[in-house]
Amino acid sequence: MRLAYVNSSKYSNVKEVLKAEFSMSDRLLLKLKKLDKIYLNGNVTSVNHPVLENNLIECYLDYEEDNSNIVPTEMPLNIIYEDEAYIVVNKPAGIPVHPSMDHYTDSLSNGIAFYFNQIGLKKKIRPVNRLDKDTSGIVIFAKNEYIQECLVRQMKSKEFIKKYIAVVNGNLDNLEGTINAPIARKEGSIIERCVSETGDIAITHYKVLKRKTDFDIVECILETGRTHQIRVHFAYLGHSLLSDTLYGTSSSLINRQALHAYKVEFTHPLSKKKVKYIATVPEDLNKLMENA
């Protein structure tokens, strides 16, 4: 991947250009400098080199990285979209995003590592967002450090929109609303979260799409991205997600928490155009929704 900028008169050196035009971190700047991947008018240059008007500044992110820390595992991938910057995958429920002691070779990252090997891409595995193991839906993997920085920065702002479909027990008091309740780790647990005055700010907007006697089908938009945010917020309202056994009870209607990350919207880091990706609702959740 190549980043390029023709200098205007407002910048005095290469570093100023890369920081201002590409919001590049100091860590990435240092790495590109060490790898001789920064060019001025076609020649390798230093970040402190002065620049003149109409000078061409280029960065190349085609360097290889060691990703041997993640075991490549062949698995079917439902790829929604892919380009030189990132890959968007519709993750099925039942597999985690990251490897762990219990899922050392069967996480989504293991599958992406295998896929990268197949296409000859020697890069670290960089999931931009995360989903719980039993939540299905969109996961984005950046293909290099620069794209990861860009997307993570957007996720911390309101530019990056994440929408979910959830099925909650019972009927909510309001057909739409906002849950503004801080979330913290539950005392004595390494997994469970709870609403707490001492927690981090957490905001979930919701709208009931369809109502049945025993449950509501809800669209959720996250303004923040706390661990288990949707699950904790609806449990806090007394309407836990269907079959969420950590914050509620199991259900015969579906054998995992009824939650799907179905849509993301953000600005493409390279084209600067607004993009939108939609993940098809999986069969188990779709069956539940159609029968409502």
Residues identified as active-site? 132
| 3-class secondary-structure state, position 122 | coil
CB 230 within 8 A of CB 214: no
Burial 204-215, CB ≥16 within 10 A → b, else e: bebebbeeeeeb
| CB-neighbour burial class of residue 53 (10 A; exposed 0-12, middle 13-18, buried 19+) | exposed
Give the whole-angstrom CA distance, residue 175 versus residue 190: 33
First to last CA, the chain: 47
Give the whole-angstrom CA distance, residue 282 versus residue 277: 15
> Tokens in use for 106?
């069967």
> Tokens in use for 274?
């607004």
| CB-neighbour burial class of residue 113 (10 A; exposed 0-12, middle 13-18, buried 19+) | buried
Q: HSE, CB side, 13 Å, CA atoms: give it for residue 264.
A: 23
Residue 169 main-chain phi, psi, to 5 deg? -65, 140
